Amino acid sequence: MALLLLCSVAAAQQSEISASQPLIDKAKAFVSLLAQGNFAAATADFDSTMKAVMPAEKLNETWKTVTAQVGQFREQAGVRTEKMAQYDIVYVGSIFEQANLDIKVVFDSASKIAGLFIVPSKPPVEFSSASYVNPKAFRKSDITVGSSEWALPGTLTMPWGVELAPVVVLVHGSGPNDRDESLGPNKPFRDLAEGLSSKGIAVLRYDKRTYKYGQKMASMVNGLTVKEETIDDALAAVEQLRQTPGIDSNRIYVLGHSLGAMLVPRIAKGDSMIAGFIAMAGITRPLEDVLIDQFSYIYSLGSITPEQKAHLDTLRVQAAKVKSAGLTVKTPTSQLPLDVPAKYWIDLKGYKPAEMAKEIARPMLIMQGGRDYQVTEVDFNGWKNALSGRNDVEFKFYPAANHLFIDGQGKITPDDYEVAGHVSEAVINDIADWVNKH
């Protein structure tokens, strides 16, 4: 049965964590309003985009279409939750006359409903380590990155039999990510940590600040930049490893993925003693342009609707505002992409990662997947054009890999992230070889 997609929000990263109880309660109340036919009340908590693409009348029509396919709504079942970029997601199990479905309610950082899906119910998938992982080759220990108000729980994997191990610090993509950078059933940072530690390389991964302190960070959102979101904690992790027994303090490397890769040059500027950098799927274009391309791609997978076209038009206007001389800290978030406050955009304005990377006089490894619609070969070529000719920079391209560097086939869609897999062994081997050369 073809189930109707109500509305989707493009997102870069996702991490599993229980949403707060108030959001769970709000999601369940929303489903109750749908079942009662009170669509005006159901749309009250929609964000501006959802109100534009899914007004009460259309939500009514959509609900009628769903119940025509699966019968009348009977009752709610259990809930499950996860994170996707800056969004909290609550799946409300829903029993209809002819099928059991999940109503997937997506909340933004302001607790507004930013997306809605109706999807088949499914149990959570238990994670198993990749076949290339040798659990006897390393040990794991809990570690706290930083101190005081922003202390972050993490995991340090240390190889056995290595007196002083080189170490890689993993830096997340956008949004509140856990230490595994979990996305659906996949945990790419856990794959990287266990895979590299199976080959004699220590790895530190930690929960992102916006994951651990989501509500506190949300209260500071108008003053938030990538420095507070990502850079400060990456630098704190590096400094802490210099004092960690068993770590070769001269061989500390930083691996950034997605947003983390884009920020590699800024992290490098903050610490001249880091031994080298790995950028996995890092954009080199302005973020606002990448967002337009991401939404355009997703909408192109079907017949674009008038609402989707309107959303793209709005996003282009918002992107133009970011680029304009009129952007100030007082610019309303409603005029900016994804309702992200102005200070965040001002901080990134004019930032050219590949150009700034020219100033990094340390080895770099640039990696890109060929089945990545979020960060594309255009960005990969941006790195290559800026850094080609340098003997201390290597470029690796993986035609079958998606944004998580998990191999697949066919045309890439957001559904790929719901398919369990592991970071390609070739990626693990290339990183290990590169670290061992330096």
Domain of residue 89, CATH code? 3.10.450.590
Does residue 296 sit in the same domain as residue 369? no
Is 148 within the bounds of a domain?
yes
Query: 220 and 74 in one domain?
Result: no
Give the total number of structural domains in the chain: 3
Backbone φ and ψ of 171, nearest 5°: -115, 125
CA end-to-end span of the chain, whole Å?
Answer: 54
Q: For residue range 183-235, what is the model confidence (pLDDT) as tens digits?
A: 778 999 999 999 999 999 999 999 999 878 876 887 788 899 999 999 999 99
Q: Are residues 213 and 81 part of one domain?
A: no
Domain presence at residue 88: yes
Residue 9 covered by a domain: no
252 and 300 in a single domain? The answer is: no
So what's the pLDDT on residue 353? 98
Mean pLDDT of 353-378: 98
For a pLDDT cut of 70, what percent of the chain falls above it?
A: 94
> Looking at 223-232, 296-305, 322-331, 366-375, which range is the least confident one?
296-305
Of these residues, 15, 109, 197, 258, which one is catalytic? 258
Report if residue 6 sits inside a domain.
no
Residue 237 C-alpha from the chain's centroid: 20
Please indicate, yes or no, whether residues 243 and 303 belong to a single structural domain of this protein: no
Q: How sure is the predictor about 154, in pLDDT bands with cuts at 50, 70 and 90?
A: very high
Least confident of 54-63, 84-93, 301-310, 367-376: 84-93
Specify the DSSP element, H or E, that contains 14: strand 14-15
3 state SS of 102: strand
List the domain range (segments joined by +) for residue 291. Answer: 287-335
Same domain, 150 and 230: yes
193 found inside a domain:
yes
Whether pLDDT at 83 is above 80: no
- Do 259 and 309 have their domain in common? no
Q: How confident is the model at residue 16 (pLDDT cuts 50, 70, 90)?
A: very low
Compute the distance between CA of residue 130 and CA of residue 146 in angstroms, rounded to an integer.
30
Average pLDDT over residues 75-90: 79
Catalytic residue among 403, 416, 422, 424: 403
Q: For residue 3, is pLDDT > 60?
A: no
- Work out the pLDDT band at 15, boundaries 50, 70, 90: very low
Residues 225 and 362 reside in one and the same domain = yes
Domain boundary among 335, 369, 397: 335
Of 219-233, 287-301, 374-388, highest mean pLDDT? 374-388
CB 423 within 8 A of CB 319: no
pLDDT of residue 123: 66
Q: Domain ends where: 268, 303, 335?
A: 335
Whether 318 is covered by a domain: the verdict is yes
Which residue among 73, 93, 120 closes a domain?
A: 120
Q: Judge whether 45 counts as a catalytic residue.
A: no
Pick from 78-82, 136-140, 220-224: least confident: 78-82
Domain of residue 418, CATH code: 3.40.50.1820
**In contact, 285 and 382? CB cutoff 8 Å:** yes
Tell whether 241 and 176 lie within a shared domain: yes
Does the active-site annotation cover 403?
yes
Q: Which of these is catalytic: 372, 379, 407, 416?
A: 372
Q: Quick one: tokens of 102? A: 């999940």
Q: What number is the average pLDDT over the span 29-36?
A: 91
Check whether residue 144 and residue 18 sit in a common domain: no
Is 438 known to be catalytic?
Answer: no
**In terms of domains, do 165 and 67 share one?**
no
Average pLDDT on 256-268 reads: 98
Q: Do 247 and 363 belong to one domain? A: yes
pTM of the model: 0.79
